[in-house]
Structure 1
């Protein structure tokens, strides 16, 4: 059940922002969607196009606006920034997008200190940390999209391999949303069974799972999509809807959003993805499943990758 205003403001009306708005409209999770873009005419066009579909979806007020519209919002999502180009890593975007992030966050907090900030712009972990620093908001109210999409990709691949609904797969990607992310196979389950137990009991004669190949596919799938069509937008739009719905409807969903660490697995003062319970207050708590020694070491290495970039751009 919705506990807030049901208002979502989306900064950036490009491919990701517009797709997020479209998916949010179809889901019927928000009662009001406001699109803000430095190209106001583009935001107006996107809003008008979306609003013409009102007959086919649950009622929602969709319009273009400006930063004053952040007042009263439950969620303000930052989808603006330079997009990742073919052959470019997410971390390569940091110098360009850190300045954009700072300018946007300062305008948001002039209007509201109550909304939850949801960062979708890459590199999402560094920019989530930056948004937390620039905004001065409590850590539970500034989150990044993190590895919610990566975890969905992981589940999709296991679903295809094992012939089981992805919704019956519990698999998480932890750490950086990027090349150092960690796929902890030790906590992966299918229909309530550990992977090795499920595979042992499964009557299908499918080939053994190649864990390294699946990990590589999860890590590199965005690069393949960018090479093929120039940008990723559909799946990340759906991931943002899942995160936003969990907040607006106070669902207490466990999602791998990027959030500030405070000693979990010996990691502090970086934003990265761990299973976190999300509700109307943002991150209610972080869950720390038991990992193997190798998985914990890989997670710490991922954290250091993020921390190194933070230091390079002068974040504390």
Structure 2
């Protein structure tokens, strides 16, 4: 990666609610040395950069400033949050054509700048736009990462911890599939403090039906937040920060992401939510979670939905 051992540089494309929350999280965690913010609202970016400067004495130094696509020349990461946000009652997949058109204007100049790092994509529909970023850039698939079901998995872990009255840090559970209505919980592989989730739930008198209701609430949580405050941003911004840290610090950590499956779950040529090992090279290894027959069917159904939309939007 470009200059990783000397000067870690991130270019953020999109300074809306998600982008600015991500920038704040990066400062809080003291990740990277330089953060360049690019957005068509140049005054807003300048104001955000000045505002974020004031955080540094209380956290640590991080050179934050406005920039252009050309700043990606020597960047380690390009993080894409730019796009039209989802409106109440609208699905993430409803945004395909709107945000695909925006993405096309971003990826080309980034590549032309000589960028040789890693893309991380959060704009919705994230699975489709991550696939589009890889195809438009021509980058190896392991160097294009989507946030995928990272946020959904966080929501599921919170829901389980609250329902089962356990420390959140003991919950090891993932949401797989599409970041959207086709997502599902992987019950067979889920654990609480090393014990199977289903066994822990049964001991507490929590039925499968109650877990399914909890999963449904988790799936709809994003829409609920949008209905209440107009947008979601803290969760996905923190997911982006966590992915950025894993890459820049070469952590070799397992995180749920939007990954380019190649045989896992019997799927090919698409990005879909599953855990993967993340390090300085991007996606070091894609992990296939053991699924029940019902869960495997849900994964295939989710993939078919994404492939149909991708074929229409990307002309595949």
| 1-structure distance, mates of 2:226, 2:303 | 25
Matched, 1:309 2:309: yes
Q: Please, what is the CA RMSD of the aligned residues? A: 1.4
Displacement of 1:199 after TM fit? 3.6
- Which residue in 2 is equivalent to 1:160? 162
Any unmatched runs of 5+ in structure 1?
none
1:11-160 matches, cutoff 5 A: 11-160=13-162
Q: CA deviation at 1:4?
A: 6.2
Q: Which whole-Å deviations, capped at 9, do the CAs of 1:109-144 have from their partners, x for residues lacking one? A: 111341100110000000001001100000000111
Q: Quick check: 2:272–2:303 contact (8 Å CA) kept in 1?
A: yes
Q: CA deviation at 1:60?
A: 0.8
The TM-score, its normalising length taken from structure 2, stands at: 0.95
Query: What's the CA shift for 1:206?
Result: 6.1
Q: Indicate whether 1:217 and 2:247 are aligned.
A: no
**8 Å contact from structure 2 (residues 107, 133) kept in 1:** yes
Superimposed CA distance per residue, residues 195-217 of structure 1 (whole angstroms, 9 cap, x where no aligned partner): 1332455xxx6654612211111
Aligned-pair CA distance for 1:279: 0.3
Query: Is the Cα contact below 8 Å between 1:7 and 1:33 reproduced in 2?
Result: yes
Tell me what 2:267 maps to: 267
Q: Moved runs in structure 1, 4+ residues, more than 6 A? A: none
1:250-287 deviations in Å (ceiling 9; x for gaps): 00111111121111111111111111100000000111
2:159 aligned counterpart, secondary structure: helix
TM-score under structure 1 normalisation? 0.95
Alignment pair present for 1:198 and 2:200: yes
CA drift of 1:3 comes to 4.3
Question: Structure 1 residues 156, 3: CA separation in 2 closer, same or farther (over 3 Å shift)?
Answer: farther
Q: Could you list the runs of 5+ residues in structure 2 that have no partner in the other structure?
A: none
